[in-house]
């Protein structure tokens, strides 16, 4: 599941406009909306106004429960900077509202892949999208958009949801472009009764000779769909392909 959230910032006191230190927080941040896509399906965005009884400056309890249900169903999440921001933010709202952890899942943070395997001019989703010619984030009026949503402006809410949905669509294209390079991608082959690509689950894999580790020789495979490489290993449960 590809996932992206938008949040409203903390509201706090400071002594002056040049102060960077906040004296106290009047209202902590909360989640405005979540965009998600089961890979290959339609992108959906759910925000605070989607729930009955919505009021401006209300709370995100029902939205947080909705996100909990999503994560409870998924085996793998994919996001941009999701390990540091999205998932930690979501967990914070879970514990705030007294929710227990959802079923365990694996996380793929595309930002980490960008930094590990490439030297892009920039690693932000928008600039990577432009660099790779796969698209860009939705332009909007900036922070006033967040203020408009806080005030309950439905026009701003429509823009916010469109903005979040565009992020998910762009994330998908970036993920698919970088996925063949992800050596630590969760191994999808172990879930399959037949040999498939460990990254994309394609059956279209072919033998490409042999490789060697320090202690053994292994069969190499390449996926003709995503282009990722794998090695054939024998385990206690089943023989499987592993990313290389």
Final residue in a domain of this structure, among 151, 180, 209: 180
pTM above 0.95, yes or no: no
pLDDT band at 14 (very low <50, low <70, confident <90, very high): confident
Q: How many structural domains comprise the chain?
A: 2
Name the β-bridge partners of 30: 8
Residue 60 structure tokens: 């995100």
**Residue 14 sits in the same domain as residue 78:** yes
Q: What is the CATH number of the domain that holds 69?
A: 3.30.420.10
Determine the length of the chain.
244
**Residue 93 sits in the same domain as residue 200:** no
**Residue 173 sits in the same domain as residue 193:** no
The rounded percent of the chain whose pLDDT value lies above 70 is: 95
Final residue in a domain of this structure, among 180, 200, 223: 180
**Residue 150 sits in the same domain as residue 204:** no
For residue 159, count CB atoms less than 10 angstroms from its CB and return exposed for 0-12, middle for 13-18, buried for 19 or more.
Answer: middle
Residues 176-200: tens digit of each pLDDT: 999 999 999 999 998 888 889 999 9
**Residue 114 sits in the same domain as residue 204:** no
Contact 110, 174 (CB under 8 A): yes
Give how far Cα 87 sits from Cα of 22, 34, 79, 206, Å: 25, 12, 9, 36
Instruction: Name the one residue in this structure whose structure tokens are 């079923």.
Output: 103
DSSP state of 86: I
Average pLDDT, the chain: 93
Owning domain of residue 213: 187-243
């Amino acid at each position: 599941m590809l996932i992206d959230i938008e949040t409203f910032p903390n509201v706090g006191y400071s002594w002056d406009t040049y102060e960077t230190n906040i004296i106290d927080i009047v209202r902590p941040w909360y989640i405005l909306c979540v965009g998600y896509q089961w890979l290959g399906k339609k992108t959906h965005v759910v925000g605070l106004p989607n729930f009955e009884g919505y009021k401006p400056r209300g709370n995100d309890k029902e939205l947080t429960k909705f996100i909990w249900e999503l994560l409870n169903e998924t085996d793998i999440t994919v996001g941009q900077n999701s390990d540091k921001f999205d998932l930690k933010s979501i967990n914070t709202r879970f514990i705030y509202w007294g929710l227990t952890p959802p079923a365990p899942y694996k996380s793929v943070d595309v930002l980490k892949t960008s930094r590990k395997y490439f030297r892009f001019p920039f690693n932000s989703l928008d600039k990577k999208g432009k660099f790779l010619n796969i698209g860009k984030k939705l332009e909007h009026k900036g922070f006033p958009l967040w203020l408009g949503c806080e005030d309950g402006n439905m026009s701003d809410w429509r823009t916010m949801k469109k903005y979040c949905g565009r992020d998910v669509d762009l994330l998908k294209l970036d993920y698919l472009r970088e996925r063949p390079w992800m050596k630590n991608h969760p191994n999808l082959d172990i879930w399959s009764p037949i040999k498939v690509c460990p990254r994309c689950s394609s059956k279209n894999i072919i033998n490409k000779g042999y490789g060697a580790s320090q202690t053994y020789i292994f069969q190499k495979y390449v996926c003709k769909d995503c282009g990722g490489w794998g090695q054939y290993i024998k385990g206690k449960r089943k023989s499987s392909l592993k990313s290389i």
